[in-house]
Structure 1
Amino acid sequence: MEKTKPVASSHQHKIIPIQLDATFFFERAVQSMNRYHYDKALKYFRKAVEYEPENPVNQCNLAGILSEMGKYDESNAILQDVITRIDPSMTECYFYMANNYANMEDFETAEQALVQYLEKDTEGQFLTESEEMMDFLSFELERPTQITSIKSREGLIEHDKARELLEEGKFVEAVQLLEKIVKKFPQFAAAQNNLSLAYYYLGYFEKALSTIYKVLDIEAGNLHALCNLAIFYQHFGYESKLQGLLQQLKKTYPMQEDHLFKVATTMGILGEHSTAFRLFKRILRTGDSGMDPALYHYAAAAAFNSGYAHEAEKLWQRAQNLDPKSDIARFYLSQMKSLQTSDKKSTISYQYHLPFEEQFRQLENSEEGFSQLIIQDPMVRSSFFWALRHGDRDTKLQVIQAFGIIADSEIENMLR
């Protein structure tokens, strides 16, 4: 008898191939880290490095998880390779190494690594932590630490003043001060970063872009610069460049809260709301900013924009409890029903202030006086400048009319 040959079914299930690359294993590692499954995270980070061995971010991620697991020697070997071969601009590796050596109670070598960090790093990201470690090492070694200079302190007082001017919406003054700082200290990456933002707020977009490129020439892996660059690419409509940079940022797993916050806010601005929501939740869960109402607003905006209205409502309620005098959370809570039932999909701004139209309405009815609030309140002033640069035609006309009442020197410079 002839055997019947099996015939393949014409209704076979379609199999979607999995793209096994560095991004795939990085994402698996992050999931494992979030669940505190460090052994799995280590395995996945190792695979990510195998696929992209020259990527310094992957290497630092691997060094970070090794340090978390107490494998300090292996962690330091990787960090040393990054700083000497892969990307010498990543001076934060010296700080990570100092931490590892301190945990190994090799205080002499920890001190050497810490001094290298302080003398070479321009950003000052870990300056406070370094000073604390210096005190600890001095105690253990029973002598003061010998250090000739702290590179990140150069121009620091003037830079702090410039940051205050930015926060107050005094962008013209900020630009004038920052231009002086970077002329004197051209390697001061943080000042260059803030100068690029000030140019952007003033509408000098080409200057903003060229300044960011200068930062990346100084330090190719500068996370703040890369985030700013992504926002600029979006503004200019450089879609292909934006997508490439976006994928790079998504592969980043920031260990420090300020880096995590920068990536989260950037993802929100770029419309990657689900990623932003995941990162903001991580800050709230593991960071030191649990009492900051603004952070709860950012997380609420990301949640709402991702389609999680119930989560957003809870987060705005928390913001309201932390800042009961503010109208911001109260306004969004009052608008929840209309926002959800509206035919037009609404996107909530991540900025911690009321929508411009609502601010304008409240200011017109304010007993304190419309012009006095714009003069005295830096948040109101800053949002008006933002609306002037980025709002629609009707919004810009409203702002110009309001500024016409005040016409101080800062506003005159802005309108020229």
Structure 2
Amino acid sequence: MQITESNVIQYRHEGDFYFSYGVKAFQTKRFERAEKWFQKSLELQPTNPLYLSQLSVLYTEIGQYHRANDLLQKVIDHHGHAYPDCFYLLANNYAHLGLFYEAKKFGDKYLEHQEDGDFRDEVVQLLDMLEQLSTDEHDEDDLEFDDLDEIIMHQETAFYHLEHEEWDEAIEVLEEMMTFYPEYISAKHEYAYALFRSGDEEEAITLEEAWFEQDPTSLHSRLNLVYFYYSSGKNSEFQELLPTLLNVYPTYEPQKLKLAITLARVEEYGLALPRFQQINNRQVSNYLSYYYWFSKVLAKNEMYEKSDQIWKQGIKKHPSLQSFD
């Protein structure tokens, strides 16, 4: 039989083909594989609302709420109010981020367009919780929506500058936070750390020691001082304080990461390794420092293949990591 163009069956992978494989991977919690399949489907149909929404759900699942919201906003930009479930998903993500004003806005939008929708009960419950946070005047620690949004914006800006070692910019933001939001305790410790890294070592140590004296249980103070003492050659102080970290096991992933990184910075690579291995990497994937220090710790423990793997993952998620090599 002569093969011609007319009798060759043309086979082309459509978006649904890739999407179905993504769903299967997602259901078995193979999130990296699922992300690849969903992105493949979006290469063929970039504005498909189902593909965009499902990838956003994946990002929500692994704690990347900003990326999830970008995709949901794309659905709204291209399809208007035709997919009101996006409003619920946005409200939920903004609540996780602590941006309560935005969470309330999208929760209200969902009820406006889908009063009896599938997520009505969840949205009503979310709005009730936000209302309680907003109106409880008896708790002095409660903050209004606008204040909470401002804190989150300052926090994320400071986080970016700290992760990229832009010390002067970080100091400026953290000084504002200390002035306007003194209840945000970690800001002053991040400020001391940025001061130390910018060259004001003695001032940073003086501040942190004073705060540690006020609260000897502070993990923030101990982490900073262990690093400060080690880096500035105060060996006796370092040797005295280091053991106080070894029996501390935080439950909050960013604190686990800070402890692991501190041990790495003071060249306790053997102690740092199990700490990194206990971290849920999906919850710290937005930390450039996670990939940098975990890769280094693995190499120092002669786990070179794994070190290279973590480094490549970091470069893929944070291209600027290459400048830290």
Q: Which has the larger radius of gyration?
A: 1
Higher relative contact order (CA 8 A, sep 6+): 1
